[in-house]
Amino acid sequence: MQDLDSKIRKGVAWTSLAQIGAQIASLVIAVILTRLLSPQDFGLVGMVLVFTGFAVVFNDMGFGAALVQKLDVDQHHKNAVFWMSIVIGALLTLVMAAAAPYIASFYGIPALQPLTVAISVIFFINAFATVKVALLQKAMDFRTLAAAQLIGTVLSGLLAIYLAFSGYGVWSIVVMYIAYALFYVLVLWIIAPWRPDLSLRWSALKDLSRFSSNLVGFSAFNYWTRNGDNLLIGRFVGSAALGFYARAYTILLVPVWQVSSIISNVMFPALSAIQDDIERVREMYLKAICVISLITFPLTLGLLVLSGPFVLALFGEKWAEMIPILQVFGLLGAIQSIGTTVGWIYQSQGRTDVMFRWGLISGSIFIVSFAIGLRWGALGVAVAYTIANFLLWYPSWEIPARLIKLDFVTIVRRLAPTFYGAVTMVFAVWALGLILPYDWSSAIHLAVQATFGVIVYWLFVRSFRLEAYTTVSNLVILYLKELKAP
* Threshold 0.95, pTM exceeds: no
Average model confidence (pLDDT) across the chain: 81
Instruction: Tell me which of 133 and 312 has the higher pLDDT.
Output: 312
pLDDT bucket at 1, cuts 50 / 70 / 90: very low
pLDDT at position 66? 63
Return the C-alpha torsion angle 236, 238, 243, 248, nearest 10.
Answer: -40
pLDDT in tens, 176-231: 999 999 999 999 888 877 787 776 666 656 655 555 555 566 666 666 667 778 88
Q: How many domains does the chain have?
A: 1
Domain carrying residue 134 = 2-484
pLDDT in tens, 114-137: 999 999 999 899 889 887 887 777
- Say how far apart CA 374 and CA 396 lie, in whole Å: 24
pLDDT in tens, 238-288: 888 888 898 888 777 666 666 666 665 555 455 555 556 777 778 878 888
Exposure class string for 1-24: b at 16+ Cβ within 10 A, else e: eeeeeebbbbbbbbbbbbbeebbe
Contacts 24+ apart (CB under 8 A), 398-403: 399/354, 399/358, 400/342, 400/345, 400/346, 400/351, 400/354, 400/355, 400/358, 401/342, 401/345, 403/345, 403/346, 403/349, 403/351, 403/354
pLDDT in tens, 395-438: 988 888 888 888 888 989 989 999 999 999 999 999 999 999 98
pLDDT bucket at 368, cuts 50 / 70 / 90: very high
pLDDT at position 81? 76
- Say how far apart CA 130 and CA 9 lie, in whole Å: 24
